[in-house]
């Protein structure tokens, strides 16, 4: 049975019981509107740990002006049922006043150089909001491991770096992107898509495949193939970039890389990525 905690005191009491049991704890952080991608995170966490916490908090700090905070799907009852069906021990669902005790925080975690690029360039301040809430949730849930999806590749890199730089005692575990059978990466924002938008959104996956197919011809060919693919479809390209997984800077040379794409499909902004290994004459890729 999934317990629900709404306050710091409630989650602290549960965690004390778990400490007394010497139970290992994993956390899956969400903004609600749970889907099969979250289910996979929960499954991996369940396999790894004695206890699983799912946070359900729609964090206002990571929405930049003009974004979809007000219309973001709120499906608490369905989220709780999903957690119960998949063996989650605790859902932590605080409100904003419980997370930010003094109102909008004066002190935040800065995402640094990488936080200003790609997603950060398109959404200034977004990653500072992400890191601030992730840091707070790590403190409040005190897990041994935290599970995040590969779909948000830049977010994952920045969270890993925060944990390293600030000495958080937690292991960050990445989980492969979950996709619909046609290749569309699962996202809570997919609920915004009309039928026509849903078809157009497949352009992102096609672009990743095209970029992978071009990898033996070098970095510029990868980016050109991905961008050309999306330019033929009913999407508005935000960015196409190839970066190093080590420092998230533009990729040069040969070796492992991450191809990132972002585009507006109708009014909905979607992101996706693929990891690939560029070698002379060959490429290994998984989409």
Q: Positive or negative, the Cα torsion across 175, 212, 243, 271?
A: negative
Strand partners, 78: none
Residues with a catalytic annotation lie at: 38
> Residue 256 forms beta bridges with which residues?
277
Strand-pair partners of 242: 259
Contact 15, 24 (CB under 8 A): no
Query: Both tokens of residue 211?
Result: 């970029």
DSSP 249-281: SBP-SSEEEEEEEEEEETTEEEEEEEEEEEETT
Q: Is 258:242 a contact under the CB 8 Å cutoff? A: yes
């Amino acid at each position: 049975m999934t317990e629900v905690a709404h306050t710091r005191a409630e989650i602290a009491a549960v965690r004390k019981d778990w400490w007394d049991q010497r139970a290992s704890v994993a956390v899956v952080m969400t903004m609600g509107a749970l889907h099969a991608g979250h289910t996979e995170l929960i499954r991996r966490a369940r396999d790894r740990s004695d206890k699983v916490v799912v946070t359900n908090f729609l964090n206002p700090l990571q929405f930049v002006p003009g974004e979809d905070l007000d219309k973001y799907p709120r499906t608490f009852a369905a989220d709780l049922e999903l957690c119960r069906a998949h063996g989650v021990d605790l859902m932590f669902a605080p409100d904003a006043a419980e997370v930010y005790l003094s109102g909008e925080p004066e002190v935040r975690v800065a995402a640094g150089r990488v936080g200003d690029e790609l997603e950060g360039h398109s959404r200034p301040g977004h990653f500072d909001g992400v890191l601030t809430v992730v840091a707070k949730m790590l403190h409040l849930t005190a897990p041994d491991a935290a599970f995040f999806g590969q779909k948000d590749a830049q977010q994952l890199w920045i969270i890993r770096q925060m944990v390293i730089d600030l000495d958080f005692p937690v292991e960050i575990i990445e989980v492969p992107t979950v996709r619909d059978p046609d290749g569309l990466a699962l996202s809570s924002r997919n609920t915004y898509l009309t039928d026509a938008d849903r078809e157009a959104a497949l352009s992102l996956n096609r672009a990743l495949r095209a970029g992978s197919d071009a990898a033996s011809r070098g970095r510029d060919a990868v980016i050109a193939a991905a961008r050309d693919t999306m330019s033929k479809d009913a999407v508005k390209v935000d960015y196409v970039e190839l970066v190093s997984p080590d420092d998230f800077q533009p990729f040069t040379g040969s070796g492992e890389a991450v191809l990132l794409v972002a585009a507006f499909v109708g009014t909905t902004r979607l992101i996706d990525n693929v990891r690939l290994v560029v070698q002379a004459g060959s490429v290994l890729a998984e989409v």
